[in-house]
Structure 1
Amino acid sequence: MADAGIRIVLLHDRAGKLLALLPGRKMLDLSRLCQLTGRELQPVKGEDARRFFNQPGLQSETGLTQLLSLPLAIDSGYAEAEVKGYEPHTGWCFSLPHLPRHEQAVRGDFAVLPQEPREAAAGADDAAVITRAVERFTSLRVQQRLEDTLGLPGLSETMQLIVKLRSDAGAGVDDLVPVVKRDPSLSAQVMGWASSPYYAAPGKVRSIEDAIIRVLGFDLVINLALGVAMGQVLKLPEDTPRGSVSYWDQAVYTATLCEQLARHAKVEPKPRPGLAYLGGLLHNFGYLVLGHLFPPHFSRLSRYIEANPHLEQRLVEQAVLHVTREQIGGWLLDSWKLPSEVCAAVRFQQEPEHADEDERIYAQLIYLSSRLLRSRGLSDGPHTACPQGWPEALGLDEAQVNACLDDLCSSADSLAELSGMFKKRG
């Protein structure tokens, strides 16, 4: 993201194209822009923006002049004479001696500074934030227990048993196999996972016991079952940001990389790979909850995310809904009694320093993994480098991290098949 200068955004409606020019650090407010122009503008798809701004002709002065002959909306917050700008989808940069002036250019206030969500310890404060957002954007008036009011389905009996096993340090395969067998759908899922190309089990997988003991292991079956259960509680939102990586692909990629990095981490206490995997698998669960709670507003949120690809999505969510996926996801997982390490990882994945010291490593693993995956187009969000000192803070060196990332990318097709099984079940 550019810290200074101007950002250019391509939008369209039935009347044609329009370019919006606004300060690079600000968020484009679509509602204000539509009011200013009297049009029903939407950002173009990311792939269309890349195709448009990658045209060779735009590299010449003539091409730039032709581009800026399109209808323009110029935010009044940018008043400098010389224009140095960029386009975030392509990284294309341009420079002009002055802002263009023509009869199809309008000026006004349609850019706002994004506000950081107010971080607080998970629990009562997050519940208050969620309550205010629900009351503001729905007809619900929240009373008594928040989770009862939101109309969120509960976990099945099988999944309640799985959650208990996940939290029981003494539980083992003998406890898990009967639970899996009592649920035909979960049994079929476990057999499918064990037979998937990613795990490359030698010989045919012949039973649930064989799948768990020989191929997958106790931790992995528990975590995969929980991930699927959480995803089944809520439907995937229909109108997601166009061009985004699918929910389950991101979940499986992030979980796999978190687990690999956890195995290499040289810190004390050493992170448990199973919990790291589960945190990664559920890291985006709050996104499903937002879609469930605010369906009339979810399409609007998706368009705002498309119009502001340079911003972390939680900043856009804060501006549009006044609550973030991290807040609502962490709160709900905590109310369902998942391990505290997983709840903290989901809640504080964007700002790990706010997590308790003994749980911080799990939030750090998601933070690092998501940014590494973005750099390879395997996760959504702006391509931003990790702060100085990462990944050393996790006891990792750059060579280890790159090796883990390369290994995941080489297995991306097999992992996509695995995530496809989640989609079919959901």
Structure 2
Amino acid sequence: MPVPTSVETLLSSQNITYDLASTAFEGEDPLIWHQQHLRQQGAARSILLQDDIGRVQVVLGADRLLDLTAVNRHLNRELRAADASALQQFCEANQFQSVPALPQVAGLLTLVDEQLLERDSLLLDSGDDTQLIRVHGNEFQQILKDAVVCQLSAPLAPLEADDSDADDLAQIEGAISNFTQLRIRQRLEETLELPPLSDTAQRIIKLRVDPNADISDLAQIVETDPSLAAQVVSWAASPYYSAPGKIKSIHDAIVRVLGFDMVLNLALGLALGKTLHLPKDGPSGELPYWQQAVYMAATIEGLVTAIPRESRPSFGMAYLTGLLHNFGALIMAEVFPPYYAQFCRLSEANPHVTPQTIERHILNMSRDQIASKLMELWSMPEEVVTGLRHQSNPNYHGENAIYAKLVYLARMLLRQHNIGTGPCESIPDSLLDELQLTRAKAEATVANVIESSDDLEHIASALNQN
């Protein structure tokens, strides 16, 4: 397939010698393959930004993180990433599958990362997902006549380094120390203990470690919190669980529908969620906090059920880990609002980068680190602490690794259905083998969740109102 006409015209008009680097499509999802192929080849990609003044094109390496602050400082504007509908409209109008990594290919003001000029030859996104354009470095510089060349990115590799063995406490304290210089005054202990756990959450945590706890104990705690009680009953009565008859009480919800372990972990997840305020800001296109939590928990519920019975992890722990998987985002938004706002804008401008990588760029720590450390201080189960801490690392093999791997798998499955943020990535066979799942079962699980989206969103809407 030839490159888009406007790309061919631009190259020809400037007498640029180029080759097409075509690669046979591998995998099942063209979008996932294209994003990973750009990264693996070290190719240049294009990102479309916009504000009230208009659109701007940015060209940088696919192995770099776009520093949106640097772009806005250079142009004295307030640009942010174009939303999905605007990007689709732009590509359709210009007959692109993706925005070509060529300056002014659509007549836009273009910023080019100066790091690209250090390369002897470059591979460029052609605007056609099946091939790249290869040009010599001198030829590429010839195209930059009317572009703005400046420093506007950071390398991804150091930010993505495996930090499984990091000293989280020391790293967080170091980050807090840096924040002090930026007028963030709280010490680590104060930061992680504000606001305090609710009485309900503290009672449920104590109940969790009580070997003699029974249904009456749990029902009594839930019933003392009218909001929590209403949510549990609403959950049990939802069409998603298809419970026969009307749910008349918390005891009824536990015995007939959800079960003790499910209600215990659900109540704990909801109580912890109420401890912090839901962020009013968020990356464009990201689902509300509780909607993401419900989708994740439901997906993990299905994955655990699909694992052979003799190899299944604790259903309740896995479900709770999924429900709390994004708790770190709440902490970031609550404790460091200016930095969370910066994270949102960078996330929109770097859809090829994971949220944790962007957070390390801004804060020198990730949501996973601070959430797991907070859970540890709250005496939460080790399974949850580990699951949250290593959820972004499919290669983690420490104790309780299965909970982290389930969250990673569920997130990748949902991401392929445009739920969540970050890159779409192929799921390695090795991960499925470790969990004793087939790809067909994993995909069937997320398909069932998507089919039940109306029921799940009904549950999530009640939680969002809370």
Question: TM-score scaled by structure 2?
Answer: 0.82
CA distance in 1 between counterparts of 2:179 and 2:161 reads 17
Question: Residue by residue, what CA displacement relative to the aligned partner does 1:170-222 show, whole Å, maximum 9, x if unpaired?
Answer: 42212211112222222222222222121221111122221221122111211
Corresponding letter in the other structure for 1:36: H
Q: Which residue of 1 aligns with 2:449?
A: 408
Q: Which residue of 1 aligns with 2:385?
A: 343
CA distance in 1 between counterparts of 2:173 and 2:129 reads 39
CA distance in 2 between counterparts of 1:134 and 1:213 reads 46
The answer (yes or no) to whether the contact 2:286–2:419 under 8 Å persists in 1 is no
The answer (yes or no) to whether the contact 1:37–1:106 under 8 Å persists in 2 is no
Structure 1 segments unaligned to the other structure (5+ residues): none
- Which runs of structure 2 are paired with 1:241-260 in the superposition (5 Å)? 241-260=283-302
1:195 pairs with one of 217, 237, 242: 237
Q: Which residue of 2 aligns with 1:109?
A: 151
1:265 pairs with one of 295, 302, 307: 307
| Pairwise CA distance, 1:16 | 2.2
CA distance in 1 between counterparts of 2:396 and 2:103 reads 48
Q: Which residue of 2 aligns with 1:227?
A: 269
- Which runs of structure 2 are paired with 1:141-180 in the superposition (5 Å)? 141=185, 143=187, 146-150=188-192, 152-180=194-222
- Which runs of structure 2 are paired with 1:365-384 in the superposition (5 Å)? 365-384=406-425
1:78 pairs with one of 103, 108, 116: 116
- Which runs of structure 2 are paired with 1:382-393 in the superposition (5 Å)? 382-393=423-434
Confirm or deny that 1:35 pairs with 2:53: no
Moved more, 163-172 or 415-424: 163-172
| Pairwise CA distance, 1:36 | 3.4
Q: 1:311 to 1:222 in 2, by over 3 A?
A: same
Q: 1:84 to 1:103 in 2, by over 3 A?
A: closer
CA distance in 2 between counterparts of 1:109 and 1:140 reads 28
CA distance in 1 between counterparts of 2:192 and 2:201 reads 20
CA distance in 1 between counterparts of 2:230 and 2:64 reads 49
Corresponding letter in the other structure for 2:377: S
Which SS does the other structure have where 1:101 is aligned?
helix
Moved more, 32-41 or 396-405: 32-41
Q: Which residue of 2 aligns with 1:119?
A: 163
Corresponding letter in the other structure for 2:252: D
The answer (yes or no) to whether the contact 1:30–1:304 under 8 Å persists in 2 is yes
Question: Residue by residue, what CA displacement relative to the aligned partner does 1:315-344 show, whole Å, maximum 9, x if unpaired?
Answer: 111001211110011111111111110110
Which SS does the other structure have where 2:372 is aligned?
helix
Question: Residue by residue, what CA displacement relative to the aligned partner does 1:246-271 show, whole Å, maximum 9, x if unpaired?
Answer: 21111111111112212222386530
CA distance in 2 between counterparts of 1:389 and 1:40 reads 43
Corresponding letter in the other structure for 2:73: Q
Question: Residue by residue, what CA displacement relative to the aligned partner does 1:402-422 show, whole Å, maximum 9, x if unpaired?
Answer: 221221121111111111121
Give me the identity figure in percent. Answer: 38
Q: 1:169 to 1:400 in 2, by over 3 A?
A: farther
Moved more, 265-274 or 21-30: 265-274
Question: Residue by residue, what CA displacement relative to the aligned partner does 1:369-407 show, whole Å, maximum 9, x if unpaired?
Answer: 100110112222210012241211111112221221221
The answer (yes or no) to whether the contact 1:21–1:74 under 8 Å persists in 2 is yes
The answer (yes or no) to whether the contact 1:241–1:305 under 8 Å persists in 2 is yes
Q: 1:184 to 1:15 in 2, by over 3 A?
A: closer
- Which runs of structure 2 are paired with 1:17-28 in the superposition (5 Å)? 17-28=55-66
Corresponding letter in the other structure for 2:388: V
Question: Residue by residue, what CA displacement relative to the aligned partner does 1:97-138 show, whole Å, maximum 9, x if unpaired?
Answer: 65463664111221210222662458xx21222222223235
Corresponding letter in the other structure for 1:113: P
Q: 1:142 to 1:184 in 2, by over 3 A?
A: closer
Corresponding letter in the other structure for 1:173: I
CA distance in 2 between counterparts of 1:379 and 1:91 reads 23
CA distance in 1 between counterparts of 2:126 and 2:389 reads 32
The answer (yes or no) to whether the contact 1:305–1:316 under 8 Å persists in 2 is yes
Moved more, 278-287 or 157-166: 157-166
Q: Which residue of 2 aligns with 1:136?
A: 178
The answer (yes or no) to whether the contact 1:84–1:95 under 8 Å persists in 2 is yes
Q: Which residue of 2 aligns with 1:239?
A: 281
Moved more, 329-338 or 168-177: 168-177
Question: Residue by residue, what CA displacement relative to the aligned partner does 1:41-80 show, whole Å, maximum 9, x if unpaired?
Answer: 32222332222223353479x9x89734211111122135
The answer (yes or no) to whether the contact 1:349–1:363 under 8 Å persists in 2 is yes
Q: Which residue of 1 aligns with 2:321?
A: 279
The answer (yes or no) to whether the contact 2:104–2:110 under 8 Å persists in 1 is no
Q: Which residue of 2 aligns with 1:50?
A: 88
Q: 1:71 to 1:92 in 2, by over 3 A?
A: farther
Q: Which residue of 1 aligns with 2:17?
A: none
Q: Which residue of 1 aligns with 2:331?
A: 289
CA distance in 2 between counterparts of 1:277 and 1:82 reads 46
Question: Residue by residue, what CA displacement relative to the aligned partner does 1:136-189 show, whole Å, maximum 9, x if unpaired?
Answer: 23534455xx33345511222222111122233442212211112222222222
The answer (yes or no) to whether the contact 1:236–1:288 under 8 Å persists in 2 is yes
Corresponding letter in the other structure for 1:394: L
- Which runs of structure 2 are paired with 1:413-424 in the superposition (5 Å)? 413-424=454-465
Moved more, 180-189 or 360-369: 180-189
Q: 1:21 to 1:374 in 2, by over 3 A?
A: same
The answer (yes or no) to whether the contact 2:223–2:229 under 8 Å persists in 1 is yes
Q: 1:39 to 1:403 in 2, by over 3 A?
A: closer
CA distance in 2 between counterparts of 1:236 and 1:410 reads 27
The answer (yes or no) to whether the contact 1:6–1:86 under 8 Å persists in 2 is no
Structure 2 segments unaligned to the other structure (5+ residues): 1-34
The answer (yes or no) to whether the contact 2:103–2:110 under 8 Å persists in 1 is no
Which SS does the other structure have where 2:115 is aligned?
coil
Which SS does the other structure have where 1:242 is aligned?
coil
Which SS does the other structure have where 2:317 is aligned?
helix
Confirm or deny that 1:304 pairs with 2:346: yes
The answer (yes or no) to whether the contact 1:43–1:306 under 8 Å persists in 2 is yes
| Pairwise CA distance, 1:364 | 0.7
The answer (yes or no) to whether the contact 1:193–1:418 under 8 Å persists in 2 is yes
The answer (yes or no) to whether the contact 1:198–1:418 under 8 Å persists in 2 is no
Which SS does the other structure have where 1:390 is aligned?
helix
